């Protein structure tokens, strides 16, 4: 069955280019040009991925994203000409899964689309959250005993390190900013000058990665945050 993609982009030349390219890859593509039309179509059809521009007429992209997230966990890839970190963080803070800046290459866009759909298909978040034991790469994570094994050897993770890893595993398509990680794991207000996230991510990588300087389990998206790797 073909994966269904919704493109929400008011620039007709861009939407046509992206649509034709994705159709050639075998995807079933729908195209709309404003936020209002996007939400109407979304309410009447299921999609496997949404490509969402931030600057839209009628209802802007951020508001669209908030309304979509109130109903669904469908992966959302933000497309925007605005490239400031604050805009990326804003989009991801409302639940986007990835971000690509205009102008972009179709090779990069198709790679990100393929990765998001593959991860969503491979890791069914709701099913994962109900599992007691999850195997990811060489790791075996026991959600009940809060233990992690690698090659049958138990890893000595702290509670915070385990909860960070668990967050990524149970939300495999999501990108987390430092503020989101801190709010969800520490359940406290995040202050930008705090280095605690960097320290915990580094220590976690030292325990679970074969090569912490070239991580595969927890990937960094520079200027945005972290996500689960392709393992």
pLDDT, tens digit, for every residue of 78-98? 888 765 544 664 556 677 778
> Is the pLDDT confidence value at 152 over 50?
yes
- What number of other Cβ atoms are within 10 A of residue 62's Cβ? 20
- Residue 50 pLDDT grade (very low, low, confident, very high; cuts 50, 70, 90): very high
Tokens found for residue 105: 């290459």
Mean pLDDT, the chain, rounded, equals 85
Domains of the chain by start residue, with CATH: 4-122 (3.40.50.2300), 125-228 (1.10.10.10)
- Residue 158 pLDDT grade (very low, low, confident, very high; cuts 50, 70, 90): confident
CB 161 within 8 A of CB 200: yes
Note the pTM of the prediction, 2 decimals: 0.62
Higher pLDDT, 100 or 109: 109
Report the alpha-carbon distance of residue 65 to residue 44 in Å, rounded.
16
Tokens found for residue 188: 């406290």
> Is the pLDDT confidence value at 174 over 60?
yes
Report the alpha-carbon distance of residue 228 to residue 129 in Å, rounded.
15
- What number of other Cβ atoms are within 10 A of residue 180's Cβ? 20
Nearest to 166 by CA among 139, 191, 192, 190: 139
């Amino acid at each position: 069955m073909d994966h269904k993609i919704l493109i929400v982009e008011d620039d007709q030349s861009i939407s046509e280019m992206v649509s034709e390219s994705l159709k050639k890859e075998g995807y079933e593509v729908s195209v709309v040009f404003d936020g209002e039309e996007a939400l109407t179509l979304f309410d009447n059809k299921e999609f496997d991925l949404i490509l969402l521009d931030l600057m839209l007429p009628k209802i802007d992209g951020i508001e669209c994203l908030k309304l979509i997230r109130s109903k669904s966990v469908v992966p959302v890839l933000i497309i925007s000409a605005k490239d400031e970190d604050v805009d990326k963080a804003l989009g991801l803070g409302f639940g986007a899964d990835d971000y690509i800046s205009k102008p972009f290459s179709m090779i990069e866009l198709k790679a990100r689309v393929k990765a998001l759909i593959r991860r969503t298909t491979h890791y069914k978040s709701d099913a994962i959250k109900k599992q007691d034991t999850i195997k990811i790469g060489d790791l075996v994570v026991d959600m009940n005993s809060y233990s992690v094994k690698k090659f049958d050897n138990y890893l000595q993770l702290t509670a915070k390190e385990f909860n960070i890893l668990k967050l990524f595993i149970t939300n495999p398509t999501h990108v987390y900013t430092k503020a989101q990680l801190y709010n969800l794991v520490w359940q406290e207000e995040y202050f930008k000058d705090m280095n605690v996230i960097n320290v915990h991510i580094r220590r976690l990588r030292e325990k679970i990665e074969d090569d912490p300087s070239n991580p595969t389990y927890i990937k960094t998206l520079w200027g945005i945050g972290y996500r689960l790797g392709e393992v």
